[in-house]
Amino acid sequence: MSTMQRTEDGSARVAVVIGGSGGIGSAVARRLAAQGMAVAVHYAGRAEQAEKVVDGITAAGGTAVALPGDVAEPDRMTALFDAVEQRFGGVDVVVNTAGIMLLSPLAEMSLDDFDRMHRVNVRGTFVVSQLAARRLRAGGALVNFSTSVTRLQTPGYAAYAATKGAVESMTLILARELRGRDVTVNVVAPGPTATPLFLDGKSEELIGRLASAAPLERLGTPEDIAESVAFLAGPGGRWVNGQVLYANGGIA
């Protein structure tokens, strides 16, 4: 483990990673733990994967716990934040990687699918951001997740990009609303990243074309994205606030 990041009272900083059982979320949880943070690994329906993330962190000498909850339900998320504060004494970093992506031309997408994405991506981000705004200690950081598709206008992504556009708007406004709190609020917007969420349903030919679109000529990895989060959540990112960081290898 790297040098411990500590709060003013000398205790280890505490991070909550929403969606910590997923591809990017698990990489973020491991990376923040490597910075010396105690990490709460949130999961919705994948308890086994979350426990594997926790086991990996603890095996490397870190501190982590897996906690469940529906990201769109305030009572469940409040209970999660309460549990983290009771166990670790407070919350210093909140990273919300939870999201779903359902693709279809706008004219063909069902309202049920649109509402499913809105519930997780928009309502879920609102619930988590509201709790982060109320609970983060001075020197803290909130990092929400968008997508580089908001700049690419890719057919089939209209509904998904619309939910992430909402995430960007509410996050950047929240950064201004927290004036005087010594809390940074930013968005990471990944490009094509080799996660199950991204790869599901795509042909090898399509994946190859997407990989070659960036000047670096490859897909991003969860670890690439985790490095961006670690920067924003760590001491080097304290002067970055109210921004969207496009972590996409130059695709847009």
Q: What residue ranges do the domains of the chain occupy?
A: 14-193+223-245
Q: Would you state the structure tokens that stand for residue 131, as one six-digit string?
A: 């709790």
Q: What is the pLDDT of residue 6?
A: 59
Nearest residue to 143 (alpha-carbon basis) of 155, 125, 161: 125
Active site residues: 160
Strands (DSSP E) along 25-146, which ranges?
38-43, 64-68, 91-96, 136-145
Domain at 14-193+223-245, CATH from 1.10.3720.10, 3.40.50.620, 3.40.50.980, 3.40.50.720 = 3.40.50.720
Q: What is the pLDDT of residue 7?
A: 64
d(Cα 180, Cα 183) in Å, to the nearest integer? Answer: 8
Strands (DSSP E) along 19-63, which ranges?
38-43
Q: What is the pLDDT of residue 46?
A: 87
pTM, rounded to two decimals: 0.93
Q: What is the pLDDT of residue 203?
A: 87
Q: Would you state the structure tokens that stand for residue 213, as one six-digit string?
A: 């679109």
H/E stretch holding 145 reads: strand 136-145
d(Cα 122, Cα 41) in Å, to the nearest integer? Answer: 20
Q: What is the pLDDT of residue 1?
A: 45
Q: What does pLDDT average to in each consecutive run of 10 residues of the chain (252 residues)? A: 58 95 96 98 94 98 98 98 98 97 95 98 98 98 96 93 98 98 97 83 85 89 97 97 96 82
d(Cα 245, Cα 222) in Å, to the nearest integer? Answer: 15
